[in-house]
Structure 1
Amino acid sequence: MADIGNAKLQGQSFNAMRAQYAKVQPAGEKRGQGSEKVTTLEASLAMQEKTVDFLLAAKTKAKDRFATQYGLVKRGEEETRDLESFQYKGKSLADLSPEEAQTLIAEDGYFGVSKTAERLAGFVLTGAGDSLERLQAGREGIQKGFEEAEQAWGGKLPEISYQTLNKALEMIDARIQELGGGALVDVKA
């Protein structure tokens, strides 16, 4: 959580407002009473009021954020994913003939090893540019996603998945080496 002293209240930090109230001309002197006790009490009450306003605003924002997150989680749980919801060129994957499916996963097919690896690596290479740090982060992201896919699958994935992963990581590693980075050897086989 952010430091409350630096939190913004009506455009001012809490610490700045506290300092402002400490410098306020005593309210009693304004009325000709000269009572410093009244001034301290008024400043304290004003400070407490601002603190309560801040805490209520923070609580409201947090509640809204959590409600949004909860709604997204619930929506995800309620949505069921089935093969029919996935399509290729307007045709449900469930409706593909065995020949059409084989064509898609063939070496030169849209879901084949080469083209899928190119899409995976291309995403990282484009996003990272010439940054070795970003290339490494993208590489690690692909590996983490692959591990999550294994968990979701319940174990070892089909061999085509490992071939695709290896090819994509080879492309990223080649770019890392072009930029003077070291060789990375942590590819699952």
Structure 2
Amino acid sequence: MKNVSGSANNLTGIDSTLFQPNNRIGRNKSISKYSVQSEIIQFSLQVRTDSQHNIEIQNALTYFSQLDQDLKSSLIYNNHPISELSSEQATELVGENGYFGVDQTSQRIIDFVIKGAGGDIERLKSGREGILEGFKEAEKAWGGKLPEISYETLAKSLESIDEKIRENGGSVVDLSI
């Protein structure tokens, strides 16, 4: 038996050289490919969560007067439960110039994806998929169809992400919402 520090035949049967930095990066392409895929999946999950949160708050504010107090208390905006808002404030937030209106909500989603992707086409596509998944999760959480403002926000977000994918030399096969 050779010495444990660098041998393939150590006491555990694990080749310790696999854990050396020069073997993980560059030489073992399957590990680095796995890392890239893992990062892309993580990015997609972050986009999904962010998109779902924005759409759910947008939906709650649209139906503000119809929500029960417990649900209003569980949803947070600006570090406060939305139950502390008046109906007028809620309406203003989803209005044309409101923080949860189509333009500002879609811009937050777009910025999150584009900045997070850094021009990488696969990350942009993954971010796009994350938006769609987040939207589906929001529909599921709210029991089906969301208000029209949410669909407008989705369409505007996807349009910008699709354009960025094309600008970077990629193509989007599924253009449906």
Instruction: Please indicate, yes or no, whether the TM-score normalized by the shorter chain is above 0.5.
Output: yes
Where does structure 1 differ by over 4 angstroms across 4 or more consecutive aligned residues? 10-15
The offset of 1:16, in angstroms, is: 2.4
Query: Does the alignment pair 1:119 with 2:145?
Result: no
TM-score, structure 1 length as denominator?
0.55
Query: Structure 1 residue aligned with 2:83, among 90, 94, 97?
Result: 94
Q: How many residues align?
A: 118
* Larger RCO (CA under 8 A, 6+ residues apart): 2
The offset of 1:181, in angstroms, is: 1.4
| Structure 2: gaps spanning 5 or more residues | 14-69
- Provide the rounded CA distance (Å) in 2 between the counterparts of 1:138 and 1:130: 11
TM-score, structure 2 length as denominator?
0.58
- Provide the rounded CA distance (Å) in 2 between the counterparts of 1:84 and 1:11: 57
- Provide the rounded CA distance (Å) in 2 between the counterparts of 1:117 and 1:152: 20
Query: % of aligned pairs identical?
Result: 48
- Provide the rounded CA distance (Å) in 1 between the counterparts of 2:145 and 2:76: 25
- Provide the rounded CA distance (Å) in 2 between the counterparts of 1:123 and 1:159: 22
2:119 corresponds to: 130
After superposition, the C-alpha distances for 1:103-149 in whole angstroms (9 at most, x for unaligned) are: 10011100001100011111110110110011001100111111122
Q: Residues 1-189 of structure 1 correspond to what in structure 2 (within 5 A)?
A: 15-17=9-11, 82-89=71-78, 91-188=80-177
**Rg larger for:** 1
| Structure 1: gaps spanning 5 or more residues | 1-9, 20-80
